[in-house]
Amino acid sequence: MCETCGCGDPELVPVEVHESLLAGNDRQAAHNREHFRARGVLAINLMGSPGSGKTALLEATARARGRGRLGAMSGDLATERDAERLRAAGIPAAAITTGSACHLDAELVHHALHRFPWQELDTLVIENVGNLVCPAIYDLGQAANVVALSVTEGEDKPLKYPVMFRKADLVVLTKIDLLPHLPGFSLAALEDAIARTMPRPRVLALSATTGEGLTAWLDWLAEQRSLHPVGPAHESAHDHSHGHEHDHSHGHGHDHSAVDDRAPEGAQGQGSHHSADHHRHSADGGHR
């Protein structure tokens, strides 16, 4: 039309992009993952509904491990209450207050790393904002996703929130000390719901109050540490040539030059996206 009449009307030009809307977050997450890998810190993204028992699980973990090398970052819209509880339980903990954001993202975690001695840990649990929806889509750089689901929430939660449960490497069924008061609760129904949403289902049932089942959770954490050893930087999907906006001259305490210095020979770097291929999940693991 324009070519013939010369009217100067705009011409529509198609431009192929093919980039995830989450590409910026994913780049930052890859950067975080590289930090964790280089320092041999197992990072866990702990998600679940508000009140599902995430903080209580960490308190019980802290008590069981003594004052070892566990630390946590707790995300909430407001208050530092969870971090205070965890410090009281004897582990270093930082709060990430998100204001109105319903989830943590990789940038929030990265900023929090700058003011937290995470390099001294062997396990960093990032306790996400209580929410079964949004946190699932934001990679934080973790090695594994854990979803805490309490017995009072109902067996059909995995069917209602399939995005969250698809991303889970482990479901921790919490508050099992309450089961005597929940005659309608069916473990079989929960297992069935999980089997329809989690491609490699793995469930651990425990009570942070009585300590029942806690050993299996501690064993799982140890297993994850062995599956995610310190790895050389070149094994990572993270590419420092990708031109993201992170400034390596910033003043935080970790040392980018030390990426390779603790890598054992033959260590295979692996991100959370691939970890499931390296260990076998079982539907009955941890169940009574």
Partner 1 sequence: MHEVSLVQSLLARVASEAVRHGARSVAKIHLRVGELSGVEPALLASAFELCRDGVAAAAELVLTREPAEWRCGRCGDGLPPGARLCCASCGGVVRLVGGDALLLERLEMEVAEASPEPAPEPAPGQATGAPATSGMLGGATTG
141: left (phi over 0), alpha (psi -120 to 50) or beta: left
User: What is the per-residue binding string for partner 1 in 61-100, x denoting contact by CB under 8 A?
Assistant: ---------------------------------------x
Which residues does 131 contact at the CB level (< 8 Å), separation at least 6? 47, 49, 50, 102, 103
The reply to whether 44 sits near partner 1 by the rule CB under 8 A is no
Q: Which of 192, 195, 160, 154 is nearest to 173 (CA)?
A: 154
The reply to whether 247 sits near partner 1 by the rule CB under 8 A is no
The reply to whether 166 sits near partner 1 by the rule CB under 8 A is yes
Query: Could you tell me if 201 and 169 are in contact, meaning their C-beta atoms sit under 8 angstroms apart?
Result: no
Which residue lies nearer to partner 1 by CB, 25 or 209?
25
Give the integer Cα–Cα distance in Å for 172 and 52: 10
Q: Which of 180, 184, 245, 266 binds partner 1 (CB under 8 A)?
A: 245
Q: Which of 23, 88, 182, 258 binds partner 1 (CB under 8 A)?
A: 23
The reply to whether 9 sits near partner 1 by the rule CB under 8 A is yes
Q: Which of residues 107-146 bind partner 1 (CB under 8 A)?
A: 133-134, 136-139, 145
Distance between alpha carbon 48 and the CA centroid of its chain, in Å? 11
Environment class of 242 (CB within 10 Å of its CB; exposed 0-12, middle 13-18, buried 19+)? exposed
The reply to whether 10 sits near partner 1 by the rule CB under 8 A is yes
Which residue lies nearer to partner 1 by CB, 80 or 107?
107
The reply to whether 102 sits near partner 1 by the rule CB under 8 A is yes
Query: Could you tell me if 143 and 39 are in contact, meaning their C-beta atoms sit under 8 angstroms apart?
Result: no
Nearest distance from C-beta of residue 13 to partner 1, angstroms: 5
Which residue lies nearer to partner 1 by CB, 8 or 180?
8
Count of residues making up the chain: 288
Phi, psi torsion values for 32, nearest 5 degrees: -60, -45
Interface stretch with partner 1, choices 23-31, 89-97, 120-128, 251-259 (CB under 8 A): 23-31
Q: Which of 36, 54, 206 is nearest to 129 (CA)?
A: 54
The reply to whether 25 sits near partner 1 by the rule CB under 8 A is yes
Q: Residue 77 gets which letter from DSSP? A: S
3-class DSSP assignment, residue 23: helix
Instruction: Kindly list the residues in this chain that would bind partner 1 in the complex (CB under 8 A).
Output: 2-3, 6, 8-26, 29, 100-103, 105, 133-134, 136-139, 145, 162-163, 166-167, 192, 195-201, 242-245, 272-273
